[in-house]
Amino acid sequence: MTDSVKNDERTEANEAQIAVHWKEEKYIEPPKSFVEQAILNDPGVRKRFDEKHFPDCFREYADMLTWFKPYTKVLDTSHPPFWKWFTGGKLNACYNCVDRHLDKYRNKAALIFVSEPEDDVPYAMTYQELYVRVNEMAALLKDYCGLKAGDRVTLHLPMTLDLPITMLACARLGVIHSQVFAGFSGQSCGQRIQDSGSHYLITIDAYWRSGKLLDHKANADIAVKTAEAAGQHVDKVLIWQRYPGKYSAKTPLVKGRDVFVNDVLKDYKGKRVEPAHMDAEAPLFLMYSSGTTGKPKGCQHRTGGYLAYVAGTSKWIQDIHPEDTYWCMADIGWITGHSYIVYGPLALAATSVIYEGTPTYPDVGRPWRIAERLGVNIFHTSPTAVRALRRLGENVPKMGPQKFKHMTTVGEPIEPKAWHWYFDQIGKGKAVIVDTWWQTENGGFLCSTIPALDKMKPGSAGPALPGIYPVILDDNGKELPKGSGIAGNMCIRNPWPGIIQTIWGDDQRFIDTYYRRFCKYPKSKDWRDWPYMSGDGAVDAPDGYYRILGRIDDVINVSGHRLGTKELENACLTVPEVSEAAVVPVVDEIRGKVPEVYVSVPASVTDRAAVAKKVIKACEDIIGKIARPSKVHVVPDMPKTRSGKIMRRVLASISNKRDIGDVTTLANPEVVEKIRVQVQGK
Ligand code: WT7
């Protein structure tokens, strides 16, 4: 990593090293009670999925699905790096998640909705009822909106049942859904409407969050305005109602544009829509994710490969049996929710829990009360949530005798202290833990222990999943020896079914972002010449367990969610007084990393507090509350190289109270001490 550490523009390599400062921990055996009931308990699986059996090994995942027409080829590599999976095959994702379970599980709960107000009784929606609702919604999308396979629709929905119903209705028609996390601002949503070319926005009037019924329809107005300003016309805004039959927002409807889904649905009562026979390679959905430039990337996931990969990994790594009650506390607005709340679990006929609100509302005991009430036995959350619940609720044992057999963490490295608390207090030593490493682009898990077969090692994501062959490359693309313990670029040597097809509308960016740097022979049609670059740093221990160090590009991982530094900086620069902006990641006890902002203003600007306020508001309005900077430092000037580049590394060192290093070669070394005193005090 030497180059990236030296490179002025990169800050994350050394951040990562700091974030993961713990030493190798001892192994912990998976609890016997778990192993005895585990789905995947055949140690032969690694052999079946070794390189000799690639890519045919992935038939095992594809065979977990129901195909209308069998595929003829497992992997087509004729146009690298645009891999094609299960070509010739036809299937429907909605059919696989709903229809095919009816014979056996018609009146078993598919989804259980828990609303934030605790007095509301949880509502269990059976597979039959889900089938009815999805069909009616699909009929509406088809006949009322005129949507057809390949069209895109933007969803800006919170965690209510309307979201999976809408997603599955789209999938039934082959319409590509693009769900935007409800916590993102109207402007963010509008930008994604424009990029995806959606003519419809599907939203909700209101939802509960931390005790407040938020007016969400207000965001739709901003979203449409933003999209239209960027040249994308929105025909209609379809509004679900949090309380059907009642409008719970204050923002008035726009005549001719806004309609209530529940009103229109009346015309589609009892309607059924045949699931479209989609090509395995037809796009299923877009999921926007932050990258190193200002513009979010529309990660385009395919139908067959994606669904096969999430079904396979939900079964083997999450160990989901149809009898289990599974709760993933993520939001469906992120990839974790798409893969491991909706598509993976439902493909397996699981019962998947959807909780509307904040985990710590009204108090930290809420998740455990929900788990207890519903009999959740598989629990999936992020290290940030574990840390927050731990800090606020050391006394968990008193909070409920919930019995988990399996617990997952995802999104960031989990430090051993938090891991042990999760294992001892929440799992009561009886639940196996998997620390799953992957990304929006990957569709599903890439590294994790296989819960019944591998020992756990706190603080380490574990070995690669079956059929995934990682390699750690140094900055010159040279392979680091296996088990070297040296940090480098985490890459995957081979294609796998869950990888995105491309970035929506931008094939070149897809190549440039993930493949260009380490592809030695761009003309090669051999997948071995096309390692996938994850953008994460990692070390590989002698036992083959990977420890993920974090991003080595200009992306900050906050509470397990990606924020592009450029996106944030662009938001800061919309404040008229701001001449320059730099965003740096700062280590935070609970959230992993948080963004701190430095902005420089001309000497004539004297009210710095006012500027700081405007900067915070700009980040919230343009990106969303999740992007709220933890601090804004208004400084007279930025430390710069002689060529004029802002030295983010220096600012990051100041914010993280680390050694600043040699700054004598800067164009303006004297400003560094001024900023240090301003931030840290004398
Ligand atoms: C980034 C991807 C898809 C998961 C949700 C976040 C970090 C993810 C782990 C883990 C250490 C992790 C990486 C990755 N990350 N899982 N188990 N241990 N780091 O998806 O928003 O696409 O972010 O999250 O840095 O690149 P995402």
Residue 397 — pLDDT band, cuts 50, 70, 90? low
For residues 135 and 94, what is the distance between their CA atoms, to the nearest angstrom?
A: 10
Q: How many Å lie between the centroid of ligand 1 and the Cα of residue 560? A: 6
Ligand 1 binding site (Cβ under 6 Å of any ligand atom): 289, 335-336, 410-413, 435-440, 461, 534-536, 548, 550-551, 557, 560-562
Nearest CA to ligand 1 atom 14: 439
Which of the two residues, 17 and 94, has the higher pLDDT score?
94
Count of C-beta atoms within a 10 Å radius of residue 475: 18
Residue whose CA lies nearest to ligand 1 atom number 13? 550
In the predicted model, is pLDDT for residue 298 greater than 80?
yes
User: Residue 155 has what pLDDT?
Assistant: 98
Q: What tokens appear for 637 in the block?
A: 């000037």
pLDDT of residue 607: 94
Residue 551 CA, ligand 1 centroid: distance in Å: 9
CA 439 – ligand 1 centroid, Å: 5
The closest-lying atom of ligand 1 relative to the alpha carbon of residue 409 is 17
Mean pLDDT of 672-680: 94
Question: What are the C-alpha distances in Å from 468 to residues 57, 315, 408, 450?
Answer: 11, 17, 19, 13
| Most ligand 1 atoms within 8 A of CB, residue of 288, 310, 412 to mutate | 412
Instruction: Map tokens 């009037």 to a residue.
Output: 205
Distance from the alpha carbon of residue 199 to the mean position of ligand 1, in angstroms: 31
Residue 370 has pLDDT above 50, yes or no: yes
**644 pLDDT above the threshold of 70:** yes
Comparing 14-18, 95-99, 605-609, which segment has the lowest mean pLDDT?
14-18
Percent of the chain with pLDDT over 90: 82
CA of 631 to the centre of ligand 1 (A): 24
- Atom 5 of ligand 1: nearest residue by CA position: 411
CA of 547 to the centre of ligand 1 (A): 12
The arithmetic mean of pLDDT across residues 317-324, rounded, is 98
Provide the pairing of β-strand 84-87 with 73-76: antiparallel
pLDDT tens digit sequence for 538-588: 999 999 999 998 888 888 888 878 888 888 999 999 999 999 999 999 988
Q: Closest Cα partner for 559 from 588, 590, 536, 591?
A: 591
Query: What is the DSSP code string of 180-194?
Result: --TTB-HHHHHHHHH
User: Residue 298's beta-bridge partner residues?
Assistant: 288
Question: Which of 436, 437, 449, 563 has the most ligand 1 atoms within 8 A of CB, as the residue to mutate?
Answer: 437
At 16 the pLDDT is 42
What is the per-residue pLDDT for 7? 34
Give distance in angstroms: CA of 556 to centre of ligand 1: 11
135 CA → ligand 1 middle, Å: 34
Q: Whose CA is nearest to atom 12 of ligand 1?
A: 412
Match 């409920």 to its residue by tokens: 400
Judge whether residue 102 has pLDDT over 50.
yes
265 pLDDT more than 50? yes
Atom of ligand 1 nearest to the CA of 442: 3
Select from 557, 567, 619 the least CA-distant residue to 587.
557
pLDDT tens, position by position, 238-261: 999 999 999 999 999 999 999 999
User: Which tens digit of pLDDT belongs to each residue from 424-481?
Assistant: 989 999 999 999 999 999 999 999 999 999 999 999 999 999 999 999 999 999 999 8
pLDDT of residue 558: 83
Inform me whether the pLDDT recorded for 292 exceeds 80: no
Tell me what the mean pLDDT of segment 52-58 comes to: 98
Task: Calculate the CA dihedral of residues 454, 460, 461, 466 and round it to 10 degrees.
Answer: -40
Q: Considering only residues 221 and 18, tell me which one the structure prediction assigns the higher pLDDT.
A: 221
Query: What average pLDDT score do residues 266-277 get?
Result: 98
Q: How confident is the model at residue 527 (pLDDT cuts 50, 70, 90)?
A: very high
Label residue 46 by pLDDT band (50, 70, 90): very high
pLDDT, mean over the chain = 93
pLDDT given for residue 3 in this prediction: 33
DSSP 405: S
- Ligand 1 atom with least separation from CA of 447: 17
Instruction: Flag whether pLDDT at 6 surpasses 70.
Output: no
- Whether the pLDDT of residue 13 is over 70: the answer is no
* pTM (predicted TM-score): 0.93
The predicted pLDDT at position 10 comes to 35
Choose from 361-370, 488-497, 651-660 the range with maximum mean pLDDT.
Answer: 488-497
Q: Spell out the residues 6+ positions from residue 364 whose beta carbon is closer than 8 angstroms to its own.
A: 388, 389, 392, 393, 399
How far, in Å, from the CA of 437 to the mean position of ligand 1? 6
Q: Quick one: residue 483, left, alpha or beta (phi over 0 = left, psi -120 to 50 = alpha)?
A: left
Say yes or no to pLDDT of 105 above 70: yes
pLDDT, position 399:
63
Contact 43, 49 (CB under 8 A): no
4: confidence class by pLDDT, cuts 50, 70, 90: very low
Cα end-to-end span (Å), the chain: 33
Provide the 3-class DSSP secondary structure of residue 42. Answer: coil
Tell me the one-letter amino acid at 39.
I
